[in-house]
Structure formats: structure tokens, C-alpha cells
């Protein structure tokens, strides 16, 4: 076993990667501030849960108007642990938005977006927009009345945007009305485009966090940290 670890260490350098990621300096915090610094890790954990449960759901989901609703019922009623997996994915989506917004707020109010972490802030803002995109595209997939009309409202709002609004709405709907093309496009965005962009941005975001280090908490007037 030791020989195998030595072989892996000499070929991959995993021990150096471990030191960079898990043995780096973390600012000393206490109380509520310490918990606020866990929001980024919590966001990554929830995204991992969403990724795994999403893959499991996609194995039984049919992205067509004739079968989408029935496939969701099939997952909830007949697939082994399907109701549990769908529940984790459903509530995980809500927690994802809440945790990411809290993390975004923590970074803003603690001034962690300032030099030299501007690029980290920009990548985080892009990740927040992608999370909102996940919520919007995933809402239509059950293909029930609530999902249909909520998507109709959302696409109509995008249609009101100046200059590019009509083109964006047409791109989202795949035509003049919400139909089979809309469901297919939303499914493709939800399971292909957005996950690929999110994984890429998370990699960049984590690299920047490690490169610049975690920002220290603001100081109180007496000189202590919050």
C-alpha cells in the first residue's frame, strides 16, 4: 500500500495539491462570522447533490409534451426511491438559490470583492446568474399547468427587454408559442449548457479563491475582527 502511494505521489503530485487546497491559511474567525465563511462550501455541496440527483432523474425523464408529465409521475410513483430523489432535487434547488444569495451578500457586505479579488467577484456574479438560469429552465420540465404558465410569464417578460428582447424570447420558446421546441430547449439548457458552464466557472472561481486566499473579516473599531 505504501509503495502504491509513493508511486502515485511521484507521478501525480497529489500530496502537493492536497497541501494547496486543504492546508492553506484560513483567516481566524469566531461566532456567526465563522459560519458565514462556510456558505461557499455549502453552495458547492448543494450543487453536487443537484448534479447527482439530476443525473438520476434524467435517466427516467422524457422531454416531450406527450410524455414529460407522465414521466415525472412515473419517477415519483414507480421508480425505486424516485420520490426521494425528486424531493432532494426540488428542495435542493430552493436551498441552492438561498445559499448562493447569502454567500453573495456575505462577500459584498464584508468587502471581499475589492482588490485583488475583483475577478473572483465577477466569476461569482456569473455563477449567481447561472443558478437563476437553472431555476428558470428547470421549472418548466414537469410540464404541468403551473410550470407552463410560469414559463409563459417569464418568456413574455424577456420579450419586453429593449432591442434584443424579441430575439431572446424567440430563442427560448423555439417559435411563436410555448410548445415541444420550448420544452426541448429548456431541457437542453438545464442538463447540458448550464451544467457545463457552471462546472467551468466553479473551477475558475475555486482557482481564484485558492490563488488570492480567503479574505479576512472586517475589523471592529476596537481593532478586533468581527
d(CA 31, CA 224): 13
pLDDT above 90 for 190: yes
3-state SS class at 219: strand
**Any residues with CB less than 8 A from the CB of 23 and at least 6 apart, and which?**
none
pLDDT of residue 11: 84
| Dihedral of alpha carbons 215, 30, 202, 136, sign | negative
Per-residue pLDDT tens digits for 47-71: 999 999 999 999 999 999 999 999 9
- Whether residue 67 is contained in a domain is answered as yes
225 backbone dihedrals φ, ψ, rounded to 5°: -85, 160
Q: Which helix (H) or strand (E) holds 154?
A: helix 145-159
- Whether residue 49 is contained in a domain is answered as yes
- Whether residue 57 is contained in a domain is answered as yes
Per-residue pLDDT tens digits for 83-113: 999 999 999 999 999 999 999 999 999 999 9
Q: What is the CATH number of the domain that holds 59?
A: 1.20.810.10
Predicted TM-score of the model (pTM): 0.89
Angle of helix 194-212 relative to helix 118-139, nearest 10 degrees, comes to: 160
Which residue range forms the structural domain that includes residue 180? 35-212
pLDDT of residue 225: 59
- Cell 471581499 belongs to 112
- Whether residue 152 is contained in a domain is answered as yes
- Whether residue 5 is contained in a domain is answered as no
- Whether residue 66 is contained in a domain is answered as yes
- Whether residue 3 is contained in a domain is answered as no
- Whether residue 22 is contained in a domain is answered as no
Number of compact structural domains in the chain: 1
Amino acid at each position: 500500500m505504501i509503495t502504491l502511494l509513493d508511486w502515485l505521489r511521484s507521478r501525480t503530485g497529489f500530496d502537493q495539491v492536497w497541501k494547496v487546497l486543504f492546508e492553506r491559511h484560513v483567516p481566524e474567525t469566531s461566532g456567526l462570522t465563522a459560519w458565514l465563511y462556510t456558505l461557499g462550501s455549502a453552495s458547492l455541496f448543494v450543487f453536487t447533490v443537484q448534479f447527482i440527483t439530476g443525473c438520476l432523474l434524467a435517466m427516467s425523464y422524457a422531454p416531450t409534451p406527450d410524455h414529460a408529465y407522465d414521466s415525472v409521475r412515473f419517477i415519483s410513483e414507480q421508480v425505486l426511491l424516485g420520490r426521494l430523489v425528486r424531493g432532494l432535487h426540488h428542495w435542493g434547488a430552493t436551498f441552492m438559490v438561498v445559499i448562493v444569495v447569502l454567500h453573495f451578500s456575505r462577500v459584498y457586505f464584508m468587502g471581499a470583492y475589492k482588490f485583488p479579488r475583483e475577478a473572483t467577484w465577477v466569476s461569482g456574479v456569473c455563477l449567481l446568474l447561472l443558478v437563476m438560469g437553472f431555476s428558470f429552465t428547470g421549472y418548466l420540465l414537469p410540464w404541468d399547468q403551473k410550470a407552463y404558465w410560469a414559463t409563459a410569464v417569464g418568456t413574455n417578460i424577456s420579450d419586453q427587454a429593449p432591442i434584443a428582447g424579441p430575439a431572446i424570447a424567440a430563442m427560448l420558446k423555439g417559435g411563436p408559442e410555448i410548445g415541444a421546441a420550448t420544452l426541448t430547449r429548456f431541457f437542453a439548457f438545464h442538463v447540458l449548457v448550464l451544467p457545463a458552464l457552471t462546472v467551468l466557472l466553479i473551477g475558475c472561481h475555486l482557482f481564484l479563491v485558492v490563488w488570492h486566499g480567503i479574505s479576512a473579516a472586517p475589523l471592529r473599531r476596537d481593532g478586533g475582527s468581527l
